[in-house]
Each structure stands twice: as structure tokens, then as C-alpha cells.
Structure 1
Amino acid sequence: MNYLIMTVTTAFLEYWDLLIFFFLIALFYSSAGFGGGSSYLAVLALYSLPFTQIRSAALLCNIVVVSGGVMIFLKNGHYKWKKVLPLVFASVPLAFVGGLVPLRQSAFFILLGFGLIFAAAGMWFRPGRGELPEGEVKVKTSFVNAAYGGVVGFVSGMLGIGGGIFLSPILHLTRWDNAKTIAATSSFFILVNSISGLAGQLLNDKFEAVWELTLLLVISVFIGGQIGSRLSAVQFSQTRVKQVTALLIFMVGGRILWKQFELQEWLLSLVG
């Protein structure tokens, strides 16, 4: 017991700033119906942590934060299960397979960099949360819904995120349904894919976790998520928060790719 307290205290003193970042991410994302997985990855990528630990920590935090949102959407009856289930049935097994993929560190960070940039673009240009008239909703077949879910699920499982940040822009751009239904669908999608992706990673030979730090991160996002879900009634600019977050994610994604491709050295060689 004393050893556990000592290790947790050491992790807290070493990563107190990381805990604050995670608290704020959970607070803002939960107020908008997301888990924050892409931002968790973006922040963790800036710390000297093994990449095999990054994915599992981000997924676990995702599960904790988004569970509250799913319960609220369920209570308010925002799910259209005939449309949601094909997405989920295709995404869950492929997220599990994605979590099993034994990525090299360089491949992981390259995929992460491009994934963060795509997610940032989706957040920045994502249409507003207004209602879409029923006549403008484009009816999709179960096969198309399954294709959306399968592709996003597989990529999300590899990267260690729930996938809502990818799925939501796709559903908005294709006029899949109104904003509330898409937000509810994305939350449920994030939850089930995070669980599936984490299960796949637990069976991965390269799975690692620092449980002392992970425990502290989970506590931070739980508190932030609970506050954020209650802040949704407060009038503040969700659009502005999302745009600032998108800008930060884009910068981190660019920084990761810059480092991986050694662009600086390449550009200097051109100048020289």
C-alpha cells in the first residue's frame, strides 16, 4: 500500500501539468458531446512516453468521459437505432482488429500526425449544430452506414481514439441526420469503439501501461467530464472553443510529422 501511494505521488509530481491539460480537455469536449481522444493523443505525444502507452491511456480516458454523454442522450431519446447499429456492428470488430495491429513507433506517429491534421480540419470546418430540415436528410443504406463505421473504426483502433472526431464531420458533410442525432451517434460510436480498441490493445504483444499515471489521468478526466457535461447549459462559444482546439491539434500534428519526416533537415539541404 505504501509503495502504491509513493508511486502515485511520484507520478503526480512529475506529470501535474499533464493532469491539468487532461482535465481541461475533458471539460471542453464533454460539454460538446465528445471524449477528447485526439487531444489526449496530441498532448501525450509531446511527452517522453513510450508510444505503446499512449494509445491505451487515451482510449481509457475516452471511455470515462463519453459514458456520461451517452447516458444523457439515451435518457433524452436521441438515438435512431436502425441507423446507428450498422455503424456500430461494422466498427466494433474492425476497431478491435485495428487495436491488434503491431505498429512500429515511426508508423504510429506518422499516422497520428496525419490523423490529427484531418481531425483538426474536421473540427474547424464542421457545420453548426443547428437542426437540419427533415427533407434535407440524405437516407443512407445499411451498407453505406456499415462502410462509414468500418473504415473509421479500423483507423481509430490503430491510433487509439474513439473515432467520433472523424465520424462526425463525415456524417455532417453527407447530411446523414440532424445535429442532435449525429452528436448522440458520435458519442455512442466513441464509447463502443474505445472499448473495442482497448480490448484489442490488451491482447497486443506490445501493450504497455503505466497504471499509476493512467489512474491519475482517469481521475482528472472524470472530474473534468462531469463538470463539462453540466456546463453545456452555460452560454459560451462552443464554436470558438472548437476552433482554438482544432488549431492546437493541427499544430501538434504538424510538429509530429515535421519530426518524423525530418523536414527541417530536408529544407535546409535545399537551401544549402
Structure 2
Amino acid sequence: MAALALAFLIVALLYASVGFGGGSTYNALLALSCVDYRILPLIALACNIVVVAGSTVRFARAGVTPWRGALLLTAIAAPAAFLGGLTPIGESEFLALLGAALLLTALTMLLPVAMNDGEPAGFARFMPLVAAPLGYLAGIVGIGGGIFLAPLLHLARWNSARAVAATASLFILVNSLFGLAGQVLKGGEGRFAAAVDIGLPLLVAVAIGGQIGSLLALKYLPQRWIRWGTAALTAWVGLRLLTGM
């Protein structure tokens, strides 16, 4: 458990330093540790909440959250995340979907984060249409979905880089809350108790890692290096998960 907690701390540090929660990688680490796949989303979503709650508050206090657009996207995604959490899924399907999500996550990490230096792209107004599918994926697999939303918002020149990061953080937080609620209702008290038993030390680890990542990492390492390192870690874990199925 000590090694797993250390791995969670490092993942939280890396993801928090680039504005995300790390839910997909938490899931994969638990799966590779032979934890019952049915409780993986419960632990991963709870860890997501711990990591992104602080950054969401900091963005809000700094006045960079574009509340109208961010709340619209989040309000559309949240009910879908709840339904995703309620959806039954077999182990092989879950692991395949998780592995694919990890590889896609790694690819999104490698996309450049461009500043918004012009008018929004023509498809920017269609961003609400992607919110529900991302929310459903978030709930069923145990991720926040913001890591997929953010690159789309950047490509659409939807808003400034800081506003997109703030939106992704809020998106992850709310989707994780709704997805977790669905997962708890689906699994019942027995799975919830098992998740708490395994997850408490991991929650402490990600709380520490998330704080270090959000407050310190960007002051000492270039963000590009952190993104590349996180992408490499995510891709490696995803490939291990898929090839080990």
C-alpha cells in the first residue's frame, strides 16, 4: 500500500501541476494492483475531487473562471456523469475503455496549449454538444472528463488559456461528484465500504501531491516538461493495461 500511495502522490502532483485530476491514471494503477474493478471508479473519482477542489477555488478567487460558459458545459455534463456512474459494465469492457481513455489522455497532453489571440473558431458554439458524452464517459470509467474537454476548447479558441484551465477544473470537480454519486448508488454499501477501506490512505496521498503540484511544481519546472512527463507516464500505464488484458 505504501508504494501505491507514493504512486498516487506523484500522479496527483503531475496532473495538478497542469490543471487536471488524474482519475484515469488512478484507475489504471489500481487495476494493475489487482483491486476489484467495480470499486476503482469510487476511489478514482474521490481522488479527483480532492485534487481539483483546491484549484477550482483558487481559479474562482482569482476571477478567471468564465462562469457563464463553464456552468453551461458543466450543467450539461453532470447528469450524464451520474448516468454513467449508474451504468453496469463488465470487467473486460471497463478495462478496454479505461486503457483507450488513458492513451487518448496521453495524446491530449501532447497537444500545444495555444493562447487565445483571435476570434473563436466557427465550431466553438458547438462545444456544449460534446459535454454530455464526456460527462457519461467520466461517470462510467471514473474520470472527470476535463482532460478531453480542455484541448477542444483550446482548438476552438473558446477563451483564454487560464479560463480554459479554470473551466476544465470545475468540469472535473462537478462530474466527479455526480459520477461518484451514481457509482455509490450502483454499488451499494458493500462496495462503498471496500472503497473507503482501500482509498483513505490514497486520498491523503493525492491531497499532499495535489497541493505540491499546484503550488510548487510550476515554479521550478517548465510546464512543457511536466506535460510530456505526465503524457509518457499515462501512455505507459495505458499500454500496460491494454496488453495485460
* Band of TM-score, shorter chain: over 0.9
2-structure distance, mates of 1:191, 1:66: 6
Give the one of 167, 172, 186 matched to 2:154.
Answer: 172
Deviations 1:98-150 (A, max 9, x none): 001110001100111111111111112x213x5321x2333633xx2321211
* Structure ranking higher in helix proportion: 2
Query: Which residue of structure 1 aligns with residue 144 of structure 2?
Result: 162
- Structure 1 residue 225 displacement after superposition: 1.4
Residues 25 and 237, structure 2, Cα contact 8 Å, conserved in 1: no
Query: Which residue of structure 1 aligns with residue 235 of structure 2?
Result: 250
1:219 aligns with 2:201: no
Deviations 1:174-200 (A, max 9, x none): 222221111000000000000000000
Query: Which residue of structure 2 aligns with residue 18 of structure 1?
Result: 4
- 1:190-201 matches, within 5 Å, as 190-201=172-183
- 1:138-153 matches, within 5 Å, as 138=121, 140-141=124-125, 144-153=126-135
Query: Which residue of structure 2 aligns with residue 63 of structure 1?
Result: 49
2-structure distance, mates of 1:67, 1:80: 17
1:110 aligns with 2:93: no
Range with bigger deviation, 38-47 or 61-70:
38-47
User: What is the percent sequence identity of the aligned residues?
Assistant: 42
Residues 123 and 242, structure 1, Cα contact 8 Å, conserved in 2: yes
1:60 counterpart SS class: helix
1-structure distance, mates of 2:228, 2:66: 29
1-structure distance, mates of 2:220, 2:239: 32
2:219 counterpart SS class: coil
Query: Which residue of structure 1 aligns with residue 31 of structure 2?
Result: 45
2-structure distance, mates of 1:232, 1:131: 21
1-structure distance, mates of 2:225, 2:217: 14
- Structure 1 residue 92 displacement after superposition: 0.3
Residues 127 and 153, structure 2, Cα contact 8 Å, conserved in 1: no
Query: Which residue of structure 2 aligns with residue 4 of structure 1?
Result: none
- Structure 1 residue 233 displacement after superposition: 5.1
- Structure 1 residue 31 displacement after superposition: 2.1
1:186 aligns with 2:153: no
Unaligned 5+ segments in structure 2 are none
Deviations 1:145-167 (A, max 9, x none): 32121111011111101111111
Greater Rg by CA = 1
1:131 aligns with 2:109: no
- Measured on the aligned residues, the alpha-carbon RMSD in Å equals 1.7
Deviations 1:60-86 (A, max 9, x none): 000011000001000011111221122
Number of residue pairs the alignment of both structures matches: 241
1-structure distance, mates of 2:197, 2:136: 29
1:28 aligns with 2:10: no
TM value normalised by structure 1: 0.84
2-structure distance, mates of 1:149, 1:210: 28
Residues 86 and 146, structure 1, Cα contact 8 Å, conserved in 2: yes
Residues 131 and 180, structure 1, Cα contact 8 Å, conserved in 2: no
Rate the CA distance shift 1:233–1:257 in 2: closer, same or farther, 3 A: closer
Query: Which residue of structure 1 aligns with residue 223 of structure 2?
Result: 238
Residues 42 and 195, structure 2, Cα contact 8 Å, conserved in 1: no
- Structure 1 residue 43 displacement after superposition: 1.5
Unaligned 5+ segments in structure 1 are 1-14, 261-272
1-structure distance, mates of 2:176, 2:70: 16
2:32 counterpart SS class: coil
Query: Which residue of structure 1 aligns with residue 80 of structure 2?
Result: 94
1-structure distance, mates of 2:108, 2:218: 24
Residues 162 and 194, structure 1, Cα contact 8 Å, conserved in 2: yes
Residues 19 and 220, structure 1, Cα contact 8 Å, conserved in 2: yes
